[in-house]
A and B are shown apart, each in its own frame.
Chain A
Amino acid sequence: DTAVSQTPKYLVTQMGNDKSIKCEQNLGHDTMYWYKQDSKKFLKIMFSYNNKELIINETVPNRFSPKSPDKAHLNLHINSLELGDSAVYFCASSQVSRQGVSGYTFGSGTRLTVV
């Protein structure tokens, strides 16, 4: 029944490793997103993606890459992990209409700790 599900919930890994976080939504939304929440609770958008367009926040290092096999999935791949990548990563989805974007539905987050 979970609308937006992301796995894993916790991820502890060493510097330099490559890891992936998976996200799936069953709401039929056409747009998905990845957000990063730092230790001060600031939420920053990393990517937004629908089946037409990928928009990348220019401040996101190119070690981060989204991959979308279909409109219900948006996975996040991170190469060469660094200590500063430690944060909580949230996946979200929404529907874009002529009136604009709807409220977002968020996953429960993935707490990434790089050691």
Chain B
Amino acid sequence: SQQGEEDPQALSIQEGENATMNCSYKTSINNLQWYRQNSGRGLVHLILIRSNEREKHSGRLRVTLDTSKKSSSLLITASRAADTASYFCATVPSGANNLFFGTGTRLTVIP
């Protein structure tokens, strides 16, 4: 299976704290992407990091990629209640154009 795994499965933090989610995958990749899904809604693309990049920032989001360990992390700084959602990492394997999703992390930010 090309599906990745995310850790932790669920994370609960206080507003203002940082949230870190980890993703591991199995194959060589072209790029890795993170998505957010609010309850009952579609997925929203957050950030894309290419296999030759190690770190990327977008607002309060910081993504790292370690291709030697086949892992990535998503850091959300200064979390807000509105960040409560499920977060998925997804990989595009080398030579493919399809996204394969991880199992997701359910983040709850307590006001």
Measured CB to CB, the closest approach of chain B to A102, in angstroms, equals: 7
Cα of A102 to Cα of B86 in the assembled complex, Å = 21
Main secondary structure of the interface of A (DSSP, over half): strand
**Which residues of B62-111 are within 8 A (CB) of A?**
86, 88, 90, 92, 97-101, 103-104
B44–A45 CB distance below 8 A = no
Is B48 in contact with chain A by the CB < 8 A criterion?
A: yes
Q: Specify which of B31, B44, B86, B97 is in contact with A48 (CB 8 Å cutoff).
A: B97
A96 CB contacts on chain B under 8 angstroms: 97
Residues of A within 8 A of B (CB): 4, 31, 33, 35, 41-45, 48, 55, 90, 92, 94, 96, 99-109
List 17 additional A-B contacts (Cβ < 8 Å) besides A41-B37, A104-B99. A4-B42, A31-B97, A33-B98, A35-B101, A42-B3, A43-B90, A94-B97, A96-B97, A99-B50, A100-B97, A101-B99, A103-B48, A104-B45, A106-B42, A106-B43, A106-B44, A109-B41
